[in-house]
Structure 1
Amino acid sequence: MDASLKELAKLEKLASSSGSSKGKSPSIDDSIDSLLRSLREAKDSIQSGAATPDSFSSLSKKVESSKKDIDERQKEVYNSLARFGKALDKRFTAPLPSYQPMFTSPEAVVALERTVAAHFLRTGQFETAETFIEESGVDIYPELHTHFLDLHQIITALKAGNIAPALEWTGRNRAFLEARASPLEFYLHRSQYIRLLLATHPPNVPTALAYARANFAPFYIRYDAEVNRLMNCIIYLPIARLQASPYADLASPTLHLDLEPMFAKEYCANLGMGRQVPLRVVGDIGGGGALARIEKGRKVMRERKSEWSQSDELPIEIPLPVENRYHSVFACPVSKEQSTEQNPPMMMNCGHVITKDSLQKLSKPGGRVKCPYCPEESNLSTALRVYF
């Protein structure tokens, strides 16, 4: 794949207006712009009466020179395109499979166009989305554009180290986040605390501690160990000592970078959407080898005449990366029953998960629950519902 990407980079460089050439010919855009300037100058000279026979002769030479430069650059582009095609053919030896058209009905076409438009909006390509919506005529809820514009404005603020817009959103949606047992709001305050602590030299400990007293209290019961680490790391300041201490992870840039995908995940969940972009998942899985495996399996079974299903199924296992392994159904390890809305998965303080009915059956007087998998006991009232 590296060879194909290398040839593609060369092709992009040649096709761009700033791409360098092996020869001395300028880019096609530069040649055309130069020719247009010469034509405008010749037009102005004719209109002002200052044109001479030499002017026309010079213009003719300019046209021929520009044509030669464009032809040379186009030849280089075509040669690079041919090399790129050969690299692709060498990498992908099997021909592309042919299928019957899948999006033929009006409903399917509208669903596909709506998915593409939502993809552009969700990935922050707002100008492309507006052009696509205008040209396709697809109907998109206006609120969807507003929601994703708000999302990317908050993400942009997080990249700049400004957590205020994100905290404002978490404040409005605190009940939703608490129901999901999301650590987002605490992590935002943790990020701001570390920034205040390490922003200056010497460290601004009084300001950071004042921020901690004002914001960490509501999270102490749930994140007591983490809050204690945030307070104890002060003894290892300045940052050079902190980076070589047991609290080195608090000085890592990833502490702040992880906030962006976490916020996007919770924001989309609040809209009823998955944490991953659907079209990107389809491209990653399908383009990552699934289509090739499926086509190979179909070919083998067709040759052996061993089609085993009337539903166009294939006995093929597709390996998926960890982020694409979804668990929409939870089976309780105690009762062996699948969870439902009335009997959801519940996480105990020790981290083990069982269903709500099993949790209540294991509870003792006083609301204490003995975990069936470890020696720890939990409180029935502090068990959290788990969302998969």
Structure 2
Amino acid sequence: MEVGTLRDTFNQVVKKQRLSHSKSQELIAEVEHVIEQALVDVQSDHDHTFSFDQKPLFKNLKNNLSVSLNQIKVVQKDLKVNLNEYKKIIEKTFHPDLAKAYKNIDLDQYVINQIIVAQLYHEGQFEIGDSLMSESGESEEVASLRLHFLEMHQILEAMKSHDLKPALKWISANNEKLSKLGSKLELKIHALLFVDVLKKGNKKEAIIYAKTNLAPLAAHHMEGIQKLMGCLLWIGQLEQSPYTEIMCPTNWAELIQDVTQEFCSMLGHSGRSPLYVTLLAGIEGLPTLLKLANVMAAKQNEWQAHWPVPIELSKYFCFHSFFVCPVSREQASEANPPMLLSCGHALCNQSIHILAKNTRAFKCPFCPVNVKVSECRQLYL
């Protein structure tokens, strides 16, 4: 069940609880009024004796209290029904024993600590990272990583204040490595600074800036520079120009993300937090794993080398093209490439030969078409 559905159910329970509280308060107020009125009627009898005439008064009081209390019970019962329903949804969504969803693997505690330290440095939590590194043991590799991430965060902090000098200095020092990565960072930075000059309305100053900073980049970024030069025709009217996207406020945030991504790439790290992505992927796949664990436990089976069912993850976790054979459940490789059948379905090469059983043809496992092995063509990802 999706988190959104659980949230909607929770909001319904909250709404029902508020209505129940409001209605209960009204009924309690009515009960207080009935009791107070009965006291007034009793006190009006100066003899303070329970005469025959007072019996209907107490009988009426009893009936009124009984009605009010029953109404309160009905309100509370309705709320209890909603709470029990929500409880069932929670129990269905959040399994209490998560240990069933994973296999016991012996992990090197030192390596785990280094991964967490690297994660903290990646996020700029240097003080916490230093404390953990000190407690877990010194590591020259992680210590070196700290210096790199410290430089990165100093650049990012300066960029948040629209100071691009540290970023340009870092790009100049690593120009050769960035060129091999096909980086466009230098162009993007100078484009933002060029736009700042254009906003001032000084065409001469903008041309001088372009000749000084953009012209040296023309060999690799001519198309982008030509677009920037077109902005000169709209100086003073950029908001009405065809190039309004270069003035978008999000360009600064995107540039910060690009710097983070390429800085990490140079270090051999992912721009996304590796530990965060790993945990998020585990959380997303957890419902399927738990369901699989319960089914396997009921059949008294144990975990195998490969999952018997696919673990579907969102596009956020797609980093490259891959193919998983729907028959063998194995991911394709160079030794076992994906093959396109004449019917349009795809299987891994090994699965095709197993299905063919040394014959020239076999029946597709997903449709009634007979496929010739010789007609199968390799797919390239």
Which amino acid counterpart does residue 280 of structure 1 have in structure 2?
Answer: Y
User: Any conservation in 1 of the 2:198–2:235 contact (CA below 8 Å)?
Assistant: no
Q: Equivalent residues in 2 for 1:4-19 (5 A)?
A: none
User: Cα–Cα, structure 1 residues 281 and 248, in superposed 2: closer, same or farther, change >3 Å?
Assistant: same
What is the aligned counterpart of 1:264 among 253, 260, 267? Answer: 260
User: Any conservation in 1 of the 2:110–2:136 contact (CA below 8 Å)?
Assistant: no
Q: How many residues align?
A: 245
> Could you say which residue in structure 2 is the equivalent of 1:285?
281
Which amino acid counterpart does residue 132 of structure 1 have in structure 2?
Answer: L
**Residue 114 of structure 1: how far off its partner (Å):** 0.5
**Residue 328 of structure 1: how far off its partner (Å):** 7.8
User: Any conservation in 1 of the 2:95–2:290 contact (CA below 8 Å)?
Assistant: no
> Could you say which residue in structure 2 is the equivalent of 1:299?
294
Counterpart secondary structure, 1:223: helix
> Could you say which residue in structure 2 is the equivalent of 1:144?
145
**Residue 283 of structure 1: how far off its partner (Å):** 2.3
Q: In the TM superposition, what whole-angstrom CA distance separates every residue of 1:110-144 from its partner, at most 9, and x where no partner exists?
A: 11111001111110011111222233335353211
If the length of structure 1 is used for normalisation, what is the TM-score? 0.56
> Could you say which residue in structure 2 is the equivalent of 1:314?
308
Q: Equivalent residues in 2 for 1:155-194 (5 A)?
A: 155-194=156-195
Q: Provide the rounded CA distance (Å) in 1 between the counterparts of 2:92 and 2:221.
A: 51
Unaligned runs of 5+ in 1: 8-84, 331-336, 339-387
> Could you say which residue in structure 1 is the equivalent of 2:211?
213
Q: In the TM superposition, what whole-angstrom CA distance separates every residue of 1:139-183 from its partner, at most 9, and x where no partner exists?
A: 353211111110100011111111111111111111111111111
Which amino acid counterpart does residue 215 of structure 2 have in structure 1?
Answer: A
> Could you say which residue in structure 2 is the equivalent of 1:235?
233
Q: In the TM superposition, what whole-angstrom CA distance separates every residue of 1:233-284 from its partner, at most 9, and x where no partner exists?
A: 122232xx42333111011012222111111111111111122211110122
Q: In the TM superposition, what whole-angstrom CA distance separates every residue of 1:43-63 from its partner, at most 9, and x where no partner exists?
A: xxxxxxxxxxxxxxxxxxxxx
**Residue 103 of structure 1: how far off its partner (Å):** 6.4
> Could you say which residue in structure 1 is the equivalent of 2:249?
253
Q: Provide the rounded CA distance (Å) in 2 between the counterparts of 1:204 and 1:156.
A: 29
Q: Provide the rounded CA distance (Å) in 1 between the counterparts of 2:321 and 2:138.
A: 31
Q: Provide the rounded CA distance (Å) in 2 between the counterparts of 1:98 and 1:315.
A: 19
> Could you say which residue in structure 1 is the equivalent of 2:71?
none
If the length of structure 2 is used for normalisation, what is the TM-score? 0.57
User: Cα–Cα, structure 1 residues 208 and 257, in superposed 2: closer, same or farther, change >3 Å?
Assistant: farther
Counterpart secondary structure, 1:121: helix
Which amino acid counterpart does residue 135 of structure 1 have in structure 2?
Answer: E
Q: In the TM superposition, what whole-angstrom CA distance separates every residue of 1:273-323 from its partner, at most 9, and x where no partner exists?
A: 122211110122222x2112222123234435677x73153321322224x
The structure richer in helix per residue is 2
Q: Provide the rounded CA distance (Å) in 1 between the counterparts of 2:140 and 2:90.
A: 39
**Residue 329 of structure 1: how far off its partner (Å):** 8.0
User: Any conservation in 2 of the 1:158–1:260 contact (CA below 8 Å)?
Assistant: yes
Q: In the TM superposition, what whole-angstrom CA distance separates every residue of 1:1-42 from its partner, at most 9, and x where no partner exists?
A: 57879x9xxxxxxxxxxxxxxxxxxxxxxxxxxxxxxxxxxx
> Could you say which residue in structure 2 is the equivalent of 1:110?
110
> Could you say which residue in structure 1 is the equivalent of 2:320?
327
User: Cα–Cα, structure 1 residues 113 and 171, in superposed 2: closer, same or farther, change >3 Å?
Assistant: same
Counterpart secondary structure, 2:95: coil
Q: Percent identity?
A: 26
User: Cα–Cα, structure 1 residues 144 and 87, in superposed 2: closer, same or farther, change >3 Å?
Assistant: farther
Counterpart secondary structure, 2:292: helix
C-alpha RMSD of matched pairs (Å): 3.3
User: Cα–Cα, structure 1 residues 139 and 314, in superposed 2: closer, same or farther, change >3 Å?
Assistant: farther
Counterpart secondary structure, 2:98: coil
Q: Provide the rounded CA distance (Å) in 1 between the counterparts of 2:272 and 2:149.
A: 14
User: Any conservation in 2 of the 1:114–1:140 contact (CA below 8 Å)?
Assistant: no
> Could you say which residue in structure 2 is the equivalent of 1:355?
none
User: Cα–Cα, structure 1 residues 294 and 90, in superposed 2: closer, same or farther, change >3 Å?
Assistant: closer
User: Cα–Cα, structure 1 residues 283 and 219, in superposed 2: closer, same or farther, change >3 Å?
Assistant: same
Counterpart secondary structure, 1:216: helix
Q: Provide the rounded CA distance (Å) in 1 between the counterparts of 2:97 and 2:89.
A: 12
Q: Provide the rounded CA distance (Å) in 1 between the counterparts of 2:248 and 2:296.
A: 52
Counterpart secondary structure, 1:98: helix
Counterpart secondary structure, 2:240: coil
> Could you say which residue in structure 2 is the equivalent of 1:153?
154
Q: Provide the rounded CA distance (Å) in 1 between the counterparts of 2:139 and 2:88.
A: 41
Q: Provide the rounded CA distance (Å) in 1 between the counterparts of 2:225 and 2:177.
A: 23
**Residue 90 of structure 1: how far off its partner (Å):** 6.5
**Residue 207 of structure 1: how far off its partner (Å):** 2.1
> Could you say which residue in structure 1 is the equivalent of 2:135?
135
| More moved, 312-321 vs 207-216 | 312-321
User: Any conservation in 1 of the 2:119–2:273 contact (CA below 8 Å)?
Assistant: yes
> Could you say which residue in structure 2 is the equivalent of 1:123?
123
User: Any conservation in 2 of the 1:189–1:216 contact (CA below 8 Å)?
Assistant: yes
User: Cα–Cα, structure 1 residues 244 and 293, in superposed 2: closer, same or farther, change >3 Å?
Assistant: farther
Q: In the TM superposition, what whole-angstrom CA distance separates every residue of 1:181-236 from its partner, at most 9, and x where no partner exists?
A: 111111111111112222x3xx2332222111111123223322221221111222
Unaligned runs of 5+ in 2: 11-85, 324-332, 335-380
**Residue 102 of structure 1: how far off its partner (Å):** 4.8
User: Any conservation in 1 of the 2:261–2:270 contact (CA below 8 Å)?
Assistant: yes
Counterpart secondary structure, 2:309: coil
Q: Provide the rounded CA distance (Å) in 1 between the counterparts of 2:218 and 2:144.
A: 36
